[in-house]
Amino acid sequence: MKAAIVTIGDEILIGQIIDTNSGFIAKSLDKIGIQITEMLSISDTKEQILDTFASLQNKVDVVLITGGLGPTKDDITKKTFCDYFEDTLIESKQVLDHVTQLIESIFKRPITQMNRDQALVPSKCEILFNKVGTAPGMWMKKENTVYISLPGVPYEMKHIVENEIVPKIIKEYKRPYILHKTILTYGQGESLVAERIEDWENNLPEFIKLAYLPAPGRVRLRLSARGLDKELLETAIESQVSLLTQLIGDIIVGFDEDETIEVVLGRKMIQLGISIATAESCTGGKIAQTITSVAGASNYFKGGVVSYATATKVEVLGVSAQLIEDHSVVSAEVAEAMALGIKKLMKSDYGIATTGNAGPAKGEADASVGTVFIALATPNEVIVEEFNFGQPREKVVDRAVNKAFEMLQKEILKNLL
């Protein structure tokens, strides 16, 4: 079963907003065995929408469209649906009652004609009820292709996908199973990882595919299996993961999409009853942001200081001004003092500190652009490492964040052995 995803809106095409809807829809459909063959972003003109619909007709089983269902004049998806399906708009009492209740209970005012127009839907469509918004989804079929229109507001789209579309597709269509297993590795680049697992990769069963998903300082390996026997796929995937773990277990830190290193570390810190605090200069608070993106981080994260200015390092973290003068603000000595300072300030078991030249200009420090010192203060010692992550600036910051987590991971693993 194949599907295409179409997002409608000039705001996407000119980069004013980022399309997050397509990714959510793709993941949701992939989980139920539907193959996504195309993702398109198109202008919100009648001609462009009609041309796109026609080009996908009978090419895929399902076309999911987001956007263009609002109450304003520039939202033309419903009218264009009518043109494509040779239909007319009618007022849905179910939708009108819902819109009326929503407007009157939340905004405490009568509905306007524009609000009332949200209840207009093509007469031939099957309504996909939007409990959390005013624009309903629409399900219409032409020959061998189903066209599903969804509101562009992300939380409304997600609600309809999860509560209306996925259950309906599962009920009405026979689909193969598609299983994925993601292995998260840290500390080695894509080419080195590929060399280490080359023989294993060459001997994968034909129905299992491997994809490399590299990022600065880490590589995700995704195994994908497709077939009609779910139990066979699960057994085969687990067998291959076991073999892979024997080969590169030293750099594997987690599994599956949500099993990121910050999730793994959080679980281990809770298990050990230890806490962490951060003092960041060149990474600008990104380590703290990543830690706190995990639910429950308050159980082990004491807090952080973005000591971007030299004065902040001295006045807040207690780094000696003489130490900075003697060794430069970007140095192993200053990184160590920052890590110890934040550990003392926050009364945490561990303290992580970063100081470096992310670029593009050299700034106050003597060290070359791309140089980063990362310090990890443990209950017993301070570990300091120097790196040069090159350029551009974003790469330096991302690699520094990932390397800091890698250093913490290795240290905490010692306590679990």
Higher-confidence residue of 217 and 407: namely 407
Decide if domain 261-416 falls under CATH 2.40.10.10: no
pLDDT at 416 over 70: no
Mean pLDDT for the chain overall: 92
Task: Give pLDDT, residue 72.
Answer: 66
DSSP class of 162: I
* Kind plus residue range of the DSSP H or E element containing 417: none
At residue 155, the pLDDT reads 93
Tell me the β-bridge partners of 89: 122
Q: How many helices (H) and strands (E) does the chain have?
A: 17, 17
What residues contact residue 358 under an 8 Å CB cut-off, 6+ apart?
Answer: 282, 369, 370, 372, 393, 396, 397, 400
Nearest to 227 by CA among 245, 205, 253, 251: 205
112 backbone φψ class: left, alpha, beta (φ>0; ψ -120 to 50):
beta
Helix axes 393-416, 261-272, angle to 10 degrees: 30
Cα separation of 295 and 293, whole Å?
6
- Residues 103 and 133: their CA atoms lie apart, in Å, by 10
Which of the following CATH numbers is that of domain 177-255: 3.40.50.740, 3.30.70.2860, 1.20.140.10, 3.20.20.10? 3.30.70.2860
In Å, how far from its chain's centre is CA 101?
35
Number of Cβ within 10 Å of residue 245's Cβ equals 13
Question: Alpha helix locations (H) across 203-358?
Answer: 230-248, 261-272, 286-292, 310-315, 321-327, 332-346
Q: Where in the chain are the domains?
A: 2-172, 177-255, 261-416
- DSSP of 197-248: THHHHHTS-TTEEEEEEEETTEEEEEEEEEES-HHHHHHHHHHHHHHHHHHH
Task: Say how far apart CA 358 and CA 388 lie, in whole Å.
Answer: 10
Write the pLDDT tens digit of every residue in 251-284: 988 887 667 889 989 999 999 999 999 999 999 9
CATH no. for 2-172: 3.40.980.10
pLDDT in tens, 133-151: 888 999 999 999 999 999 9
Distances (CA, A) of 307 to 34, 310, 332: 48, 7, 16
Distance CA 356, CA 336 (A): 13
* The model scores a pTM over 0.95: no
- Where residue 114 falls among pLDDT bands split at 50, 70, 90? confident
* pLDDT grade for 417, boundaries at 50, 70 and 90: low
